[in-house]
Amino acid sequence: MNLRFNRLVGWLARRGVSLAGAAELSVRGRRSGQMQRVPVNPHRHADGQYLVSARGHSQWVRNMRAAGGGELRVGRKVRAFTAVELPDEEKLPVVRTYLKRWGWQVNEYFQGVTADSSDEEILAAAPDHPVFRIEIRN
């Protein structure tokens, strides 16, 4: 997604419109302490919900590691969550189904790895794409 499209998706999510399941992530900045916002594609796999960083070790990923959680927003619905980062060896099924669902939007960031790639190819790309399992707090 380019920056302009990111802004549009975030703007829509704040107003209650979710494009293909997108939401706005808010996570506390590790240096500023201010809430940072970015559109994300929450991904459901098996019995869990995940955030996959298509763009790698981005600012929201670094902030998530420090904060241990954040909020997902679509309109007035705000869901606070805690997050645990998956080790690389556990990412395979999540990344494969993420690419099946969101590949149309994120394939360019996976440098040729797609949902149809071999297990070995996806595992080789795993260190470049952090994955967090999120647990919604009530």
pTM for this predicted structure: 0.87
Q: How far apart are CA 137 and CA 26, in angstroms?
A: 15
**Digit-coded pLDDT (tens) for 89-128:** 999 999 999 999 999 889 999 999 999 999 999 999 999 9
Cα 10-15-17 angle, rounded to 5 deg: 75
**Digit-coded pLDDT (tens) for 7-47:** 666 666 666 655 567 899 999 999 999 999 998 999 999 98
Q: How far apart are CA 124 and CA 114, in angstroms?
A: 12
- Tell me the domains of the chain and their CATH numbers: 3-136 (2.30.110.10)
